[in-house]
Chain A
Amino acid sequence: MAVAWIGNREVLIEHAAAHAASLLSSSRCPVLSFDTDIDGTRAAIALAERAGAAYDHADGAALARETALFTDKGAMTVAPGETRRRADVVVIVGELPRIQHGLVGELAGTVPDLSTGNQRAFFVVGPDGMSVPPLNDGRKATRLSCGQASLAATLAALRAQYKGQRTSQPVSNFNDFAKALAAAHFPVFLFSGHAAEGLALEMLQGLIADLNRKSRASGLHLPANENGWGSTLASAWMTGFPLRTGFARGFPEFDPWRCDVARMIAAGEADLHLRISAATAQPQKKRARMALIVLTKTEKPVAGAAVTIAIGEAGLDHDAVVYSSRTGSLRSIDAQAASQLPSAATIIRLIATHAFAEALPC
């Protein structure tokens, strides 16, 4: 099976890596986007430093909203294990990513053993018609909405009503919610940047802070993308900054607008894009003045790419460390179907050996 191409021509991986390295070395404004495991992230960031590149997640917008909650506001959060064992009221805030629906179903199928009531009530905040993860046994979450008002507006109204203030439009089923909160010992709000705007996330934290004046409550962060949140953590320890950091001036600078890689590509700022993701590569819009290097799980070259190198999928083709929303931390997983395909980190390091005199630090 061919595993590397320069343009449409099959080549040895070494040759493809060398060509990728030469493109990287001659680039004036390289950018990296990735959706990979922790090892791949570490290698990618180390390469970005050497190349003076900016880096971001391959689908960075939702993660940027989640990151901004922490960088700009702060948060009260709870571990998923404590949520399962303690949450007697669960509030689904906005539309959650599909990868998190299983956890919601699990919460619906269990009772909180560390709560005296041993039962859970479910609410969902968001506009009418918003999709809600399925609960077990036909149970339904009670809707809290202000008609078609935005999530942020609904949360603002909810917060105001909780404080006894008047609102222009009341939240549906508020009395049920207030009654549940009054009886609750540890309500937990499930949130994600998947569909929630920054203002909504901030308003939610305001509500949680209000609740904690007299009782307890917290929020369970369910990242829009688990690999992305894992990369955010690795980026923070490696550079001190989250994703959307760049090394253009030789040291790391975090700028969620300037280092938004999708924006840099669309604006024509980037002249080289190294895309790292085992997931099927979406067709790329060909850009005349930007070289594309793609590391992906593929059996054929990616259209428009100057270099394509096949990589394995973390946790399937090779062992990996990934973020898990189920534990709220990093987890080691074994390869489910180990293959000969190299990991993203292996290929990134190979490119680096051709581009730079010294090996990457990780």
Chain B
Amino acid sequence: MLTKIAGGDIIDPVNGRLGKGDLWIKDDKIVPAPAGGAADRTIEASGCIVMAGAIDIHSHIGGGNVNTARLLLPEQHAAHQVRPATTPLSNAGWSTFQTGCLYAKMGFTTVVEPAMSPGAALHTHLELADIPIIDKATLAILGNDDFLLSMIRDDAPRTMIEDYVAWTVASTRALGVKVINAGAAAAFKENVRTFSLDDVVPSYGVSSRKIVKTLQAAVDSLGLPHPLHVHCNNLGSPGSADTAAATIAAADGLPLHLAHLQFYGYGTEGKRGFSSAAARLAELVNATPEVTIDIGQVMFGQTVTVSSDVMRQFSARGSAHPKKTVIHDGDGNGGGIVPYSYGKDFYGTMQWAIGLELFLLIDDPWRVFFTTDHPNGAPFTAYPALFELLMSREARTEMTAGLSRSALALSTLAAIDREYTFEEIAIMTRAAPAKLLGLTDRGHLGAGATADIAIYRRDRSIAKMLGRAAYVFKDGDLVVQDGEIVHYRWGKALRLKPPVDKAMVRRLEEYHQQRYGLSLDWFNFPDSAIAREQPFGEVPCRT
């Protein structure tokens, strides 16, 4: 079917299209304007902004820890308004089904779950498969697992470590690799309670820095498009900016992505020993071109923190609201679930301001990514309000009226005039994520791109405009109209398929038999186990 999106304001930074024009879709692809072609369907988009579908690179939408959070917090659903049941399970609060619908309504068409425990890959993909409409992807967690730590300890050849990383990515159907507080989960099992970049994992004699550098090199050497995705040490601690600065410095010329930098933007100044170090970190990011970051913006209200940083989550148990937590020692990382309410007190205000400072002080929208680390900083449903804060200084000023003055006094936020433009938003939420993840088929509106398109009707309220898309196309299917789901479909999980070394498979089979008394078959699964047609889409590695 040939579709014409007529007369919209097209914002496509990748192809340099900025201004009024038409966009053509044939089936699931964007195509050049056909000579004299008559459209089967015309979408009138005058008064609308037309962008590629948005891509979220870091949102905890599925997998063991997310599901445990659901189990822990059935009362959380009371916050969800009951809505008309126009789509299957669409009013099931905080479910996979609702996740896909809510993302699509905002114009997001691809979302990455950034923390998949390799041993729970099947569970994770089954959850992702039940998220409708959008495409998904996931990053495999390494860096606290005995097999890798033992290889590093034993000075295993570089190629052997790369073979292990490749096997992990291939067998778990991941789009990349994440390391979470490298070595800390293993150290926590031996009763270590704090762990920094140059601390050493007991029994292995391997530092956190060594683990990060080893994985960074392996990911680069294998040609995985997405650089190593790093959750640094000391998340949430006063003074954690020093850790983040040291990790940025450790990038050392090779690509490195630092997740949710806001949670490391903390200095130790002021009478509470908690201050904003955002300006310092932003300056470091600006000066280190090989580093990309996402923010993990905090917004106010109740949420639940879900993290495979089990050591950090254990230490945060006292702040749980309501007072219940789950702490799990896994085969590698494990995880912790700690519900939390961000108040407009000194600490909440400081975290909120630090995130915005980072957004506004990092110059290059190609290297800063739009996240709340859902649900850790805030649920992704807070995105429209966050867009408004980034695009309107006035909105920020209005918001600060009810916040802690002493916190704001320790922040540079009030002095920042910058307002994001729609072009910068299109880069940060479309073009740059596609580039970072190696997804050449999306993030832009050029001919040949996948027809993932979001159309927003202009409105004085940015939050209203970007929170409720006028039209959304996914793979050429019109899925959202006037902010409501009009077509229910199933997306794919995007994955890499690096070649797997047979000798490594034999080695892993032997390891699992010896150490766990189980065949490797217990952890493998066929695509058919997902019980969806074409559950996966393959993304090529760099050559």
A327 at interface by CB-CB < 8 Å: yes
Contact B529 A81 (CB under 8 A): no
Segment touching B, from A156-164, A175-183, A237-245, A265-273: A237-245
Quick one: CB contact mask for A190-222 with B, threshold 8 Å, 1 for yes? Answer: 000000000000000000000010011010000
A78 at interface by CB-CB < 8 Å: yes
Contact A241 B191 (CB under 8 A): no
Residues of B within 8 A of A114 (CB): 146, 189, 203
Interface residues of A in 314-338 (CB under 8 A from B): 319, 321, 324, 326-332
A42 to B515, CA, bound (A): 34
Quick one: CB contact mask for A237-269 with B, threshold 8 Å, 1 for yes? Answer: 111111000000011101000000000000000
Contact B67 A237 (CB under 8 A): yes
A233 to B126, CA, bound (A): 11
Contact A332 B525 (CB under 8 A): yes
Give the size of the chain A interface in residues (CB under 8 angstroms).
Answer: 60
Q: How large is the interface on B (under 10, 10 to 19, 20 to 34, 35 or more residues)?
A: 35 or more
Contact B71 A71 (CB under 8 A): yes
A361 at interface by CB-CB < 8 Å: yes
Tell me the minimal C-beta distance from A330 to chain B in angstroms.
Answer: 4
Q: Please tell me which one of the listed residues A216, A241, A328 contacts residue B74 in the complex, with CB atoms under 8 A apart.
A: A241
A74 to B68, CA, bound (A): 10
A82 to B523, CA, bound (A): 15
Quick one: CB contact mask for A70-113 with B, threshold 8 Å, 1 for yes? Answer: 11111111110110111000000000000000000010001001
Contact A330 B326 (CB under 8 A): no
A303 at interface by CB-CB < 8 Å: no
A232 at interface by CB-CB < 8 Å: yes
Tell me the minimal C-beta distance from B99 to chain A in angstroms.
Answer: 9
Interface residues of B in 497-543 (CB under 8 A from A): 515-518, 522-526, 528-529, 531
Q: Please tell me which one of the listed residues B91, B94, B522 contacts residue A327 in the complex, with CB atoms under 8 A apart.
A: B522
Q: Which residue of A lies closest to B330 (CB)?
A: A79
Given the contacts A114-B146, A329-B123, A236 and B70 also touching, CB distance less than 8 Å:
yes
B120 at interface by CB-CB < 8 Å: yes
Residues of B within 8 A of A240 (CB): 70, 74, 76-77, 92-95, 98
Contact B488 A361 (CB under 8 A): yes
Quick one: CB contact mask for A288-331 with B, threshold 8 Å, 1 for yes? Answer: 00000000000000000000000000000001010010111111
Q: Is the interface of A mostly helix, strand, loop or mixed?
A: mixed
Residues of A within 8 A of B388 (CB): none
Residues of A within 8 A of B191 (CB): 185, 215-216
Contact A254 B524 (CB under 8 A): no
Residues of B within 8 A of A78 (CB): 328-330, 334
A38 to B528, CA, bound (A): 13
Contact B189 A82 (CB under 8 A): yes
Given the contacts A330-B126, A360-B88, A77 and B326 also touching, CB distance less than 8 Å:
yes
Given the contacts A79-B334, A237-B130, A251-B92, A71 and B64 also touching, CB distance less than 8 Å:
no
A10 to B186, CA, bound (A): 59
A290 to B326, CA, bound (A): 40
Given the contacts A70-B68, A251-B92, A361-B97, A332 and B130 also touching, CB distance less than 8 Å:
no
Q: Is the interface of B mostly helix, strand, loop or mixed?
A: mixed
Q: Which residue of A lies closest to B128 (CB)?
A: A237
A39 at interface by CB-CB < 8 Å: yes
Q: Please tell me which one of the listed residues B326, B515, B517 contacts residue A74 in the complex, with CB atoms under 8 A apart.
A: B326
Residues of A within 8 A of B330 (CB): 78-79, 82
Q: Which residue of A lies closest to B91 (CB)?
A: A251
B132 at interface by CB-CB < 8 Å: yes
Q: Which residue of A lies closest to B77 (CB)?
A: A240
Given the contacts A72-B324, A332-B526, A85 and B95 also touching, CB distance less than 8 Å:
no
A331 to B519, CA, bound (A): 12
A79 to B70, CA, bound (A): 19
Residues of B within 8 A of A330 (CB): 120, 122-123, 126
Residues of B within 8 A of A73 (CB): 324
Contact A85 B70 (CB under 8 A): no
B325 at interface by CB-CB < 8 Å: yes
Quick one: CB contact mask for B55-98 with A, threshold 8 Å, 1 for yes? Answer: 00000001010111011111011000010010011011111111
A49 at interface by CB-CB < 8 Å: yes
Given the contacts A215-B191, A332-B122, A239 and B71 also touching, CB distance less than 8 Å:
no
A189 at interface by CB-CB < 8 Å: no
Residues of A within 8 A of B62 (CB): 237
Contact B92 A238 (CB under 8 A): yes
Residues of A within 8 A of B7 (CB): none
Interface residues of B in 318-338 (CB under 8 A from A): 324-331, 334, 337
A252 to B95, CA, bound (A): 11
Tell me the minimal C-beta distance from A221 to chain B in angstroms.
Answer: 10
Residue pairs across A and B with Cβ atoms less than 8 A apart, 26 shown, are A42-B531, A49-B88, A71-B72, A71-B74, A74-B72, A74-B324, A74-B325, A75-B326, A77-B326, A78-B329, A82-B329, A85-B515, A237-B66, A237-B67, A237-B96, A239-B89, A242-B71, A251-B91, A252-B91, A252-B95, A321-B126, A327-B518, A329-B122, A330-B123, A358-B88, A361-B130
Which residues of B are at the interface with A, using a C-beta cutoff of 8 A?
62, 64, 66-68, 70-74, 76-77, 82, 85, 88-89, 91-98, 119-120, 122-123, 126-127, 130, 132, 146, 188-191, 203, 314, 324-331, 334, 337, 488, 515-518, 522-526, 528-529, 531
